[in-house]
Structure 1
Amino acid sequence: MTTTRTPAAADLHHVAERMRALDAALPERDGVAVFNRVYLAVTEEIARRGSLGLFQDPSAASELGARFGLRYLTAVDAAAAGRRPPACWRPLFQQRRHPGVRPLQFALAGINAHVGHDLALAVVDTCTGLGRGPEALERDFERVGDVLGALEERIREDLMPGPDLLDVADPLTHLAGTWSLERARDAAWAASRVLWGLRHTEELYGEFAERLDEGAGLVGRFLLTPLG
């Protein structure tokens, strides 16, 4: 079993700084930049809520947020170095400059990759680092999910076309309606519990994680269907 290491929970602030640097460096319409802006807002909100004591265990929640974010940044670094990122991230990096892909598609594809694959592994990483099972993180997992949910709603409002009666004919309306963050979160929690149960069986753990990665990548390719 491979974990993504963070020296301390405070690394959540380092993750946010890395995202701010990416935001400054990437072209505004670059698909990775679109997702990065979304995720930076999530990371800043998690840090804000942690500083206000709004999590059951602020230290553990920050650790989860840092490990979660580090998986995205590791994919960014791999792509920048010419290496293959995980399968869940490849569609976004491959299509990031496609003129037929809309900003909302980039945002949803990034969220899909991150929640559909990275979140479950980040939970396991955090549990391993803290020496606790997933049940100890469940309440704060839900609160982190609430942050994601509130932001997804805002993203859809900001990046969807309209309002206009003709929008019902826009393919983006139908494509965006096929993916649910709530379902993805539920699946991530279930996957984290399965992975935790398999953590001492390296072959099965690796196989399950690989299938999770490939499945998220398949959904990402669908979400990034060029619409013109």
Structure 2
Amino acid sequence: MTTAEVRAAPAGIEGVVARMRRLAETLPPRDGVAVFNHVYLTVTEEIARRLAAGAFADRVSATELDVRFAARYLTAVDGAAAGRRPPACWRPLLQLRGHPAVRPLQFALAGINAHIGHDLPLALTDTCRALGVEPYALEGDFDRVGEVLVALEERVRDGLAPGPEVLDVADPLTHLVGAWSLEAARGAAWAAFRGLWAVRDLPDVSGELVERLDSGVGLVSRCLLTPLG
């Protein structure tokens, strides 16, 4: 999905929240996209609260990034609903969203992986282009968003884990989700963004990098969605 193919972004972070809430109303709770959308909506509402409270150094760039970031996810979902082929990173979740042997926590992590691993580097690049800034201008607020995500990650895992107990060590889900790291995914996304920014004036190179990034992230999401029964 190129920048040109991303549908018109919602109007501000309030528009993003409204769009996610409307999407939630149309999906059954057990649907894999609904599970991820609930997690993403929770994060976005928290970001909106912190923006309003002045927690970000640059409200304009933080809002621009948040909206462009969300637009890639919403474009993928809307495109799939319209019969268009989604990016490789989103295909596993969209194809397996109704699989009865895939657990809610897997759906959530696969969506987070797709969105951070692929969409975030592209949204960062688009934001720098739109605002005419260099990557270092976004780094501080990128880290502040990371703090929000880390704070919510444990709640997400606990809330979607099967049953009130901590996952048993013998449960395959324990090993599957333990192999994925939010911190590592965000670090890889920042490195991919810097690489894309460095070759932004070389369309053949940047295009190939985006394609490989998309397919690689999709492979990880497919592994996260291994049916466990």
Q: TM-score, normalised by structure 1?
A: 0.95
**For residue 116 of structure 1, what is the aligned residue in structure 2?**
117
Superposed, 1:178-217 pairs within 5 Å as 178-217=179-218
Residues 9 and 71, structure 2, Cα contact 8 Å, conserved in 1: no
Mapped partners of 2:77, 2:164: distance in 1 = 34
Counterpart code for 1:115: I
**For residue 150 of structure 1, what is the aligned residue in structure 2?**
151
Residues 161 and 167, structure 1, Cα contact 8 Å, conserved in 2: no
Q: Percent identity?
A: 67
Mapped partners of 2:9, 2:181: distance in 1 = 33
Counterpart code for 1:121: L
Mapped partners of 1:200, 1:135: distance in 2 = 18
Residues 6 and 66, structure 1, Cα contact 8 Å, conserved in 2: no
Counterpart code for 1:49: R
Residues 161 and 167, structure 2, Cα contact 8 Å, conserved in 1: no
CA separation of 1:5 and 1:101: change in aligned 2, threshold 3 A: closer
The alpha carbon displacement at 1:148 in A equals 1.6
Mapped partners of 1:149, 1:166: distance in 2 = 20
**For residue 227 of structure 2, what is the aligned residue in structure 1?**
226
- Greater mean deviation of Cα atoms: 148-157 or 163-172: 163-172
Residues 112 and 220, structure 1, Cα contact 8 Å, conserved in 2: yes
Mapped partners of 2:63, 2:139: distance in 1 = 14
CA separation of 1:38 and 1:60: change in aligned 2, threshold 3 A: same
Q: TM-score, normalised by structure 2?
A: 0.95
**For residue 125 of structure 1, what is the aligned residue in structure 2?**
126
Counterpart code for 1:39: Y
Number of aligned residue pairs: give it: 227
CA separation of 1:94 and 1:59: change in aligned 2, threshold 3 A: same
Residues 36 and 111, structure 2, Cα contact 8 Å, conserved in 1: yes
Structure 1 unaligned residues grouped into runs of 5+:
none
Counterpart code for 1:220: S
CA separation of 1:32 and 1:5: change in aligned 2, threshold 3 A: closer
The alpha carbon displacement at 1:83 in A equals 0.7
Q: CA RMSD in A?
A: 1.7
**For residue 160 of structure 1, what is the aligned residue in structure 2?**
161
Post-superposition CA distance 1:89-118 (Å, at most 9, x none): 000000000000000000000000000100
The alpha carbon displacement at 1:2 in A equals 3.2
Mapped partners of 1:52, 1:165: distance in 2 = 35
- Greater mean deviation of Cα atoms: 192-201 or 166-175: 166-175
CA separation of 1:180 and 1:166: change in aligned 2, threshold 3 A: closer
Superposed, 1:64-75 pairs within 5 Å as 64-75=65-76
**For residue 13 of structure 2, what is the aligned residue in structure 1?**
12
CA separation of 1:57 and 1:6: change in aligned 2, threshold 3 A: farther
Q: Give the SS at the match of 1:168.
A: coil
Structure 1 segments of 4 or more deviating over 2 A? 1-8, 161-166
Residues 6 and 67, structure 1, Cα contact 8 Å, conserved in 2: no
Residues 32 and 93, structure 1, Cα contact 8 Å, conserved in 2: yes
Mapped partners of 2:136, 2:166: distance in 1 = 45
The alpha carbon displacement at 1:162 in A equals 5.0
Residues 102 and 228, structure 2, Cα contact 8 Å, conserved in 1: yes
Mapped partners of 1:71, 1:35: distance in 2 = 14
The answer to whether structure 1 residue 96 and structure 2 residue 97 are counterparts is: yes
Mapped partners of 1:165, 1:183: distance in 2 = 23
Mapped partners of 2:165, 2:202: distance in 1 = 53
Residues 87 and 217, structure 1, Cα contact 8 Å, conserved in 2: yes
